[in-house]
Structure 1
């Protein structure tokens, strides 16, 4: 009996350890290569093979495990939005203007000497009739060689012994004759008190111009400017779109309407659609999607016109269309809305890869696992953690990127079979007790009937 208890305990421990290894519930794993060992948090960008393996529409069957097979805190981040690059600052030539030339109500005529490229080499100011006011001279900024939209000026000046609080108007011109106000009453500050320093040296502009003129709003002390930079509007960082091309089949409904259906087996976060139309063709389309055959179709885009046209050897074609949101549906349907079409065009669905941010909890090596009908990633407030870290490290901070490495099968297709429903032992025990009790009552009743009646 003691040996039996020992064997039973051993089997129980083995079963418990098997349940503690969630890797057995996943179809495949990918080794993760960490760029540094002590970062604490990492991010890994998902590739096509991960999307092909995942089964859950929300990618809940995707997780990160440590070297002991234990899940670590992880979060799936959606496709990144289009971002703006950091603004570019470029030094530009600047020229001090005579004091009377800075008066806003005087007729200023600037005679400039220019280089071959159009940049200003020297200027001479002539002031027409107007109130005879002596003010601090302003500056003329030459932005004629700047490529791009100027959206602000950044001034530099020598250290000051007194607090600075001045106001300027910025005017723009394309020919040094006609001027337009680009900034009205812009403040410049340089204040110190109790070890604190407040400096405002940037002037935002409503638009750019080849030449910019800074005019003092009122009489004020001279500002020892040492340099001027123009700030260019940041460019949009284009997202790296990737595409899946699906081949369709023609389907005719009871009313004789032709549609083209496509199957997308992966769980890609589709956000765009593009059609490869035949040469010199045009068609209005409507795209729909659904998860399974028993679901209703839902519009994935408004109707749009797709075309391809060859003009004198140059091909003109319609561009990609945005979906109504991120779609991971399995089934897609393309409906021609203006006339019959019998050949299904290749359907291109575009997406931007997502990433998973995880914490390096426990010892490595760390692996990414995906594909399961039984296991799900546990929720973890990793997103809140990133927000708090960015407060100290800057809004642009990102965890270092881990790389997907070698992949191999874990449980394979067995992991895609849903787990059988657990046995409700409590219900079975209660029924057993009831049946046993009923049987006991029946036996007792029969025994009473068999006894001879007392006389």
Structure 2
């Protein structure tokens, strides 16, 4: 009796295994297929997912991404994606600043200086390398002493005398020895009166790198202000974030004056938003809100002052807002109309998210195909440390590269593929029906065997 029951249940298990094998994922189960080209030494290959491809996914966390070989076999893979740098506690530090002078007729070169410093590198005194006569010197910028800060620098916060209102635009350079300087881009702060209110912008973002000294040089030396306070915000970084990738322009809509909305292609961890300011002399204090879908309330994400102003024949533009990287699919910009607004039509925007990299272990013959676009696929990615034994930064740098084939844009699979998918689903339903009937039949057999009276000897 026991052996017969075992055979019954073994038959059911075998059918379940056969069903599972028949239901394995195939490339046709996904709406988008993109051919890949591989180069370098395998067997691991690293692919930077283009945003245009990533937007074809159906799931925010990219659970529906796969790589298949020429035989249609799924490849083991891992995803490397940072939605934001992982930081420890931020620290705000007051630092010393020293004026930098040039002669009035020499504004092209950066000021050269003689410095006196303490044993630990802290600046004690900064003087021009050549003595300038009275009336010849012009304030060109400021030298900041960050030698006492050991963590990467995230933000610069300035204050200056009220005699210099308007916009202050300057270049930012960094150095560890006061001899060799590296550009950290441009900075811009502002103080102006707007609709009888004071509007001030004191903060400038820094690239999250370490430096002992910073040099601020004003693009228009005549407008360089006298600083009254300088602070640097620093934060230790456990892992550097991947670079930002920007979208194509996205059109929006406006249902009432001073309010604009945009629908993103999918839920995304947005970190920057760039608003097109098409009209010169635009000035708009704004508040940005977001949500996952229309059934949820709007949540504030960011606020700031957007402007495009003409000064000395050149446009001065601040059109970006920084976000925390939380997942949103809808955005709403509310504009203070006292500045003139941004027009009746919604401006186009561009959004930026962190780059996503996919690493796969090539098994079987190529060519390899990236597929994505399934609302039901379950996450199948592995941790990098599991996919690559003894994973290290050196191994990461040595990985082979995979790229989307030149000129190929992610496109939905054809109608034939869709029909194939429908057929595959009916096949699965049929298999499940057969399995269910078989289990019922086997259960009936088992019940009949249990009720049969034992044979008398």
Q: Which residue of 2 aligns with 1:279?
A: 280
Q: Which of 120, 132, 142 is the equivalent residue of 1:182?
A: 120
Alpha-carbon shift at residue 367 of structure 1 (Å):
0.9
Of 251, 256, 266 in structure 1, the residue corresponding to residue 255 of structure 2 is 251
2-structure distance, mates of 1:249, 1:269: 21
Structure 2 residue ranges without an equivalent (≥5):
1-15, 87-109, 123-146, 149-175, 180-210, 215-239, 442-457
CA distance in 1, matches of 2:78, 2:385: 7
What is the Cα deviation at residue 321 of structure 1?
2.1
The one-character-per-residue Cα deviations of 1:377-430 (angstroms, maximum 9, x if unpaired) are 413233444583217x46x6352221112466436694999979969869x98x
Count of paired positions: 284
TM-score calculated relative to the size of structure 1: 0.51
Larger radius of gyration: 1
Distance verdict in 2 for CA 1:269–1:306, change over 3 Å: same
**What is the CA distance between 1:324 and its match in structure 2?**
1.5
1:221-236 matched pairs, under 5 angstroms: none
Contact kept? 1:61, 1:375, Cα under 8 Å: yes
1:249 and 1:66 mapped to 2: Cα distance? 43
Work out whether residues 69 and 369 of structure 2, in 8 Å CA contact, stay in contact via their aligned partners in 1: yes
Cα pair 1:73 1:382 within 8 Å, conserved: no
Deviations 1:231-272 (A, max 9, x none): x979999946423322221124xxxx7521112225655310
TM-score of the aligned structures, taking structure 2 as reference length: 0.51
CA displacement at 1:51 relative to structure 2: 2.4
> 1:313: how far off?
1.1
Distance 2:242 2:70 in 1: 37
Q: Which residue of 1 aligns with 2:308?
A: 308
Structure 1 residue 370 corresponds to structure 2 residue 372: yes
1:292 and 2:293 equivalent? yes
Pair 1:179–1:51, CA change in 2 (3 A): closer
Aligned to 1:3: none
Q: CA deviation at 1:362?
A: 2.9
| Distance across 2 between alignment mates of 1:32 and 1:50 | 12
Between 45-54 and 17-26, report the one with greater CA deviation. 17-26
Distance 1:245 1:43 in 2: 28
Counterpart in the other structure of 1:334: 333
What runs of 5+ residues in structure 1 fail to find an aligned partner?
A: 1-11, 84-146, 148-172, 185-204, 211-231, 434-455
Q: Contact 2:288/2:334 (CA < 8 Å) preserved in 1?
A: yes
Change (3 A) 1:389 1:285: same
Partners of 1:310 and 1:33 in 2: CA distance: 47
Match of 1:129 in 2: none
Provide the C-alpha distance between the structure 2 equivalents of 1:300 and 1:183, rounded to a whole number of angstroms: 40
Q: Which residue of 2 aligns with 1:359?
A: 361
RMSD: 4.7
TM-superposed CA distance for 1:356, in Å, is 0.8
> Where in structure 2 are the equivalents of 1:196-215 lying within 5 Å?
208=177
SS in 1 for 2:28: helix
The equivalent of 1:242 in structure 2 is 246
SS of residue matched to 1:53: coil
Instruction: Compute the displacement of 1:316 (Å).
Output: 0.6
Q: Do the aligned partners of residues 409 and 13 (structure 1) sit closer, same or farther apart at CA in structure 2, a change above 3 Å counting?
A: farther
Alpha-carbon distance between aligned partners in 1 of 2:178 and 2:55, rounded to the nearest angstrom:
52
Deviation at 1:43, TM superposition (A): 0.9
Instruction: Tell me: CA distance 1:335–1:367, structure 2 relative to 1, closer, same or farther (3 Å).
Output: same
1:381 aligns with 2:386: no
**CA 282–356 in structure 1, closer or farther in 2 if over 3 Å, else same:** same
How far 1:307 sits from its partner (Å)? Answer: 0.8
Give the structure 2 partner of residue 23 of structure 1: 27
Contact 1:279 1:309 in 2 (8 A): yes
In structure 2, how many angstroms separate the alpha carbons of the residues matched to 1:289 and 1:419?
37
SS at match of 1:361: coil
Q: Relative to 1, partners in 2 of residues 1:387 and 1:320: Cα closer, same or farther, differing over 3 Å? A: farther
SS of residue matched to 2:262:
strand
